[in-house]
Amino acid sequence: DSGVTQTPKHLITATGQRVTLRCSPRSGDLSVYWYQQSLDQGLQFLIQYYNGEERAKGNILERFSAQQFPDLHSELNLSSLELGDSALYFCASRAGVDTGELFFGEGSRLTVL
Amino acid sequence: AQTVTQSQPEMSVQEAETVTLSCTYDTSESDYYLFWYKQPPSRQMILVIRQEAYKQQNATENRFSVNFQKAAKSFSLKISDSQLGDAAMYFCAYRSALDDKIIFGKGTRLHILP
């Protein structure tokens, strides 16, 4: 158990809909990262928050947005969903500024029909 | 921008043998961190090994070791005495010491042959 909690584990929805994925980082971790993993693909970095502020941005679509709340949990909002958005979405939290090691949640599998 | 390249999409190794997975990266920075993560069929990402660029000594964790060649920007993972449980997708990752992005290669799928 990494200590990072993601909900929901599975989500099936239709094109054009909006979903919210939730992540609770490990206790004490201030950084939260979001990654997208499409079928048999690597992890695409989406966005990172540190203590409530956006710190780094990757290949995140304009239809996607995220935030980190004062209690440090984070949400990834995906809107106007398309078939190609079907993927495994990982949240990870970082242990500290010195090593950069990421602790991953189990992922949220999104299926868009 | 930094990039991470894993040139071997798939590899196979006989159980108990040794296998080396390749990773190269591109960066203009001198201080950074490199990682190997394992993703078994359960899809959970697990850290295998970590290397700080300022350390010349190659990191080792039990049967896992790296060959870190800073000048060549190469960071290969060696798995000794391969076990069936080592079958997984392996990802190489890079983190700059200057910013917070952590980027991953596309992965190498490792098969262990009994």
Q: Which residues of A touch B3 (CB under 8 A)?
A: none
Helix (H) or strand (E) holding B60: strand B60-61
Whether B59 and B49 have beta carbons less than 8 Å apart is answered as yes
Site from B96, B100, B106 to mutate, A interface, most A CB atoms within 10 angstroms: B100
Q: In Å, how far are B65, B81, B89 from A2, measured between CA atoms?
A: 23, 26, 18
- Convert the pLDDT of each residue in B26-53 to its tens digit: 999 988 999 999 999 888 899 999 999 9
- Closest chain B residue to A102, measured at CA: B47
- Averaged over successive runs of 10 residues, the pLDDT of chain B (114 residues) comes to 91 97 94 94 92 91 95 97 96 87 93 96
- Convert the pLDDT of each residue in A3-25 to its tens digit: 999 999 999 999 999 999 999 99
pLDDT at A41: 73
- Return the number of other C-beta atoms located less than 10 Å from residue B110's C-beta: 21
Query: Considering chain A, what is the average pLDDT of its residues?
Result: 92
Among the partner-chain residues A33, A41, A106, the one whose CB lies closest to the CB of B44 is A106
B55 in A contact zone (CB under 8 Å): no
Among the partner-chain residues A31, A88, A101, the one whose CB lies closest to the CB of B47 is A101
